Structure 1
Amino acid sequence: MSGDLKSFVEAIGLVGVYIVTFSESGLLVGFFLPGDSLLFTAGFLASPAIGLFKIWPLVLGAWIAAVLGDNVGYEFGKRAGKSLFKREKSLFFNPSNVLKAQAFYDKHGGKAITLARFIPVVRTFAPIVAGIGHMDHKRFTFFNFIGGTVWVWGMTWAGYFLGKIIPEDKIDHYLLPIVFGIILLSVLPPLYHLYKENKKAWYQKLSDKLVVWFKYKI
C-alpha cells in the first residue's frame, strides 16, 4: 500500500473523508481538494483485502456530505453570491473560477450540476452559480441528487471492486498508477477548455492582424 495515501486516509478517517467531500462540493475553500482520487482511494481501502473502512458507512456518509455540500453552495450563491464578482483575487479565491462555472452553467443548464461533479474546481462553484441565478430549488435538488449519487457511488465502488480484484501483494504496484490516471482524467476537461480558449484567442489575434495588413495593402 502506498505509504503516503494510506497514511493520509488513515489520518483523516471516515469523518475526514466526509469533510473533504462536503467542502469540495460547496465551500469556496474546497476547490483545491482531491475529491475524485480521495473517494476512489477510500473505496480501495475499504475492500476486503485491506478493510480500513466499512464500505457502506463510507459510501452513504460521503454521498450525504456531497449532496449537502452542494445545497450549502446553492444557498450561499442565492443569498450572497453576487458579491463574489466584486471580490479581488486571493490565495483561496479567483474570480475566474466563478466565471468558468458561470459559462459551464450557461452552456449546459440544469444538467451542469450533474456534469460538474466530474470537473475539478467547476464542481465547487457550479452550485454557487446556480444559486446566483436563482435556479428552481426542486430542479437543482434533482440534478444535485443524480450528480452526487453517480459521483460518490461510482468513485467509491470502483475503488472497492478494484481492491477485490487486485491481489494483496500487488496493491502497491497498481494503486498509484490508477490514482494518477484518475487525477489526469479529472484535469483533462479544464485543460482542454483552456486550450480551446487560448486557441480561439490566438486565431482572433491573427485574424485582427490580417485585417489590418490587408487594409494597409489595399
Structure 2
Amino acid sequence: MRIIDFLIGLLKDPRTAIATWITMGVAPTLGFIFLIVFVETGVVFFPFLPGDSLLFAAGFFAAPDATTGVSALPLTALLPVVWIAPIVGDQCNYVIGRFFGRRIIDSGRVKAMTPERIAKTEAMIDRWGPLAVFLGRFFPFIRTFMPFISGISGMRWRRFTPFSVLGGLTWSTLFTLLGYFFGGIPAVQNNFELVILAILLISLTPTFIGLWKARSSSKPSHTESASE
C-alpha cells in the first residue's frame, strides 16, 4: 500500500516528491531520480512512471534560487544521472525483449501492453527502422515498449544502440533544461501542478490519437455492414 501511495503522489506532484527526497540529501535524491527514470525506461512493467514531468521538476530544483543563488540540486551532477539512466534502461529493456519478450507478451502480465500499442510500436519500427528508437523516446508508453519490441523484432544491437543513446540524451536534456530555465517563472511556480498536468497531456496526446485511430480503423464501416 505504501508503494501505491508513493506512486500516486509521484504521478500527482513530482515536485513535492523531489522536495521530500532533498531533505535526505543530494545523493539519495539523485539516486531516486535515476531509479525512476531507469525503471520507466528499462522495465517493461512500469510504462506509467512520470519520466517527462519528473525531469522537468528535477530541472526546477537545479536552478539557482532567486534570493540565495543556491540550487537544491547541482545541475552538473543531475545531468549525468538523467543521461545515464535512460541509456542503461534501454539496454536492459532491449535484452529483456530479446531473450524473454515473446514469453512476457504471451503471459499477458503487462496489461498496458495492449495489442494497439504493440502494433503502433511495430509500425514505427517498420516505417522508420532504427530511427524509430529515437522518435519513440518522446512518447510515453512507447518509449518503454520501443526497446523491448526492438529486441523481440531482432533489430541488431549495433543498429539499436546509437539511436537509443541519442534519444536518451536528447529527451533527458530537453525536459531537464526546460525545468531549469522555466520552472522558476512565477506563473509556473504558482501553477506547477497545472504545468505538470499539461506536460502529461501533451506527452500522451500522440498515444491517445494513435489509439483512437486504431480503434476507428478496426470498426466496420456502414457500407460494409449494409452489404453484409
Give the TM-score, by structure 2 length: 0.81
* Partners of 1:4 and 1:198 in 2: CA distance: 32
Whether the 8 Å contact between 1:118 and 1:186 is mirrored in structure 2 is yes
* Partners of 1:14 and 1:131 in 2: CA distance: 29
Q: How does 1:12-51 map to 2 (within 5 A)?
A: 12=21, 13-49=29-65, 51=71
* Partners of 1:83 and 1:100 in 2: CA distance: 20
Gaps of 5+ in 1: 213-218
Larger radius of gyration: 1
How far residue 163 of structure 1 moved from its aligned partner, in angstroms, is 3.3
Q: How does 1:1-218 map to 2 (within 5 A)?
A: 4-12=13-21, 13-49=29-65, 51-89=71-109, 94-96=113-115, 97-163=117-183, 166-167=185-186, 170-202=187-219, 204-212=220-228
Q: Percent identity?
A: 31
The amino acid of 1:83's aligned partner reads: R
Whether the 8 Å contact between 1:87 and 1:95 is mirrored in structure 2 is no
How far residue 10 of structure 1 moved from its aligned partner, in angstroms, is 2.7
* Partners of 1:151 and 1:189 in 2: CA distance: 16
Whether the 8 Å contact between 1:113 and 1:140 is mirrored in structure 2 is yes
* Partners of 2:51 and 2:132 in 1: CA distance: 18
Whether the 8 Å contact between 2:62 and 2:72 is mirrored in structure 1 is yes
Q: CA RMSD in A?
A: 2.1
Gaps of 5+ in 2: 1-11, 22-28
SS of residue matched to 2:155: coil
Whether the 8 Å contact between 1:24 and 1:31 is mirrored in structure 2 is yes
Matched pairs, number: 205
User: In structure 2, do the counterparts of structure 1 residues 22 and 183 end up closer, same or farther at CA, with 3 Å as the change threshold?
Assistant: same
Who is 1:215 aligned against? none
* Partners of 1:52 and 1:138 in 2: CA distance: 38
How big is each residue's C-alpha offset from its partner over 1:101-153, in whole Å with a ceiling of 9 and x where there is no partner? 33332233211111111111111111011111221211111100110011000
Who is 1:216 aligned against? none
Give the TM-score, by structure 1 length: 0.85
